[in-house]
Structure 1
């Protein structure tokens, strides 16, 4: 049975405990928790106490969790998503990802997800690749069995499944370095249909994000507003043996988060049953 979750970056206007309560009440099985200044800030005082409190809350609600690391301005208030693993000051990103792993371990997370970032114009491709491989290796050093899900992201230095495969090989194909697959990205950016993308990476799949999207347009849409046929995608996930969370990724819908989350779960449950969507 597919376990649906919802990304907390789609609840940016809610306190984290309130967001967790809403999602549990709606019937979600888990959350994709984006560490951010307002949601379990890894740099604020009293981190250990706050992590323990969130862990207790998740456990009380019966919610599973994966850790997402795509906060826009957590590390730099002036540069979106910066610094990345490719930047000159990439050490701050590496430190953040290592903190995310530690938090994920304390929360009993099923995976920690991250991406490459956009290559700065002054950084040559070869140097960017060297920095990316080295940065991922440093995060792997502290993972200690907690699965890492690297996400191919449209517009970033690694933007396709093929790019993830190259990075996996460059790292020596470690078991702990899996893939985060965003179903919307498959429609936006991959040459193959979304169900085929699922099948292609099934053995390495540790985290799934789900949303609707159109070919060539990196815009996370509510279900039914894009071009994806979801019953075959969910059938491919079920048949692949994937048992992790399938978390709704709608980061620009916080203004109506409870209603959007309710509609999304109804849609996905119907699609999982093979019904019309």
Structure 2
């Protein structure tokens, strides 16, 4: 049965320990921890930082279902740069190093998946070159130490922005440690048949992020405030046998996180019940 989680990037106005408590208090079963200087700084994280987080997770009973490594300013002021397809070798190496650090943090905390994305393709980089650099960078991480699965998230306007694109890459890499991290809202923005895409790519999927979308504009809305068919979505998951986590991602609602936590769970729980009725 599907389980609900909440992404801590929408709780960065409070400490990571308090974020874990807040998600548990709101009735979720999991939390998606997120790299961010306010929570998990990938360049200052070690055993001393891991211990209190592990204790907070144990107290809460939550499952840390994924580590989100896609915050926009982790490597500099230019959003999401340098990426795995950056024109400079030095830039690409910095992103590979960040993904490797993410794997180490995930392993330290017992988190099974690391969520990351391709970045945007700059005009001077050909599609063929971008694809080569992307595959090389991912392989460098896969060839290194660690057990966490790399779960790539399609992102609007990024090099890979569709579920199908990531699925094709997964077929080519053919690694048990590379999978798809779907984002329902992103799928709604870029895909004509977004529920069809969700269903078609469930075999590749290890984690799903959700938010609502209004008018196919890429702005993360609280579930219930847009036009996504959540009952239809959960019906798709039920038919496909998906029993992993669905994680709410509302990084842009951190200033009203208590309302976002409560409202998201209410809407999604009702949608799950409605989906069960549709299947029954």
TM-score, structure 2 as length reference: 0.92
- Structure 1 residue 142 corresponds to structure 2 residue 144: yes
Partner of 2:185: 184
Q: Partner residue of 1:93?
A: 95
User: What per-residue deviation string (whole Å, max 9, x for no partner) do you get for residues 120-167 of structure 1?
Assistant: 222222221111011111122236542221111111000112211232
Greater shift in the superposed pair: 143-152 or 119-128: 143-152
Measured in 2, the distance between the counterparts of 1:241 and 1:213 equals 25
SS of 1:152's partner is coil
Distance 2:30 2:139 in 1: 28
Distance in 2 between residues matched to 1:223 and 1:167, nearest whole Å: 30
Q: How does 1:49-88 map to 2 (within 5 A)?
A: 49-65=48-64, 66-76=66-76, 78-87=77-86, 88=88
Partners of 1:148 and 1:178 within 8 A in 2: yes
For the 8 Å contact 1:98–1:139, the answer to whether it is kept is yes
CA contact under 8 A between 1:113 and 1:150: conserved in structure 2?
A: yes
Structure 1, gaps ≥5 residues long: none
1:90 counterpart SS class: helix
Question: Which residue, out of 148, 151, 154, partners 2:153?
Answer: 151
Counterparts in 2 of 1:1-277, with a 5 A limit? 1-44=1-44, 47-65=46-64, 66-76=66-76, 78-87=77-86, 88=88, 89-142=91-144, 144-171=146-173, 173-194=174-195, 196-274=196-274
Where in structure 2 are there 5+ consecutive unaligned residues? none
User: For this pair of structures, how many residues does the alignment match?
Assistant: 272
Alignment RMSD (CA, Å): 1.7
Per the alignment, do residues 264 and 70 of structure 1 end up closer, same or farther by CA in structure 2, a change over 3 Å counting? same
What is the Cα deviation at residue 30 of structure 1? 1.0
Q: Give how far 1:5 is off.
A: 0.6
Q: Structure 1 residues 216 and 273, CA, compared in 2 at 3 Å: closer, same or farther?
A: closer
What's the CA shift for 1:236? 1.7
Structure 1 runs (4+) greater than 6 angstroms displaced: none
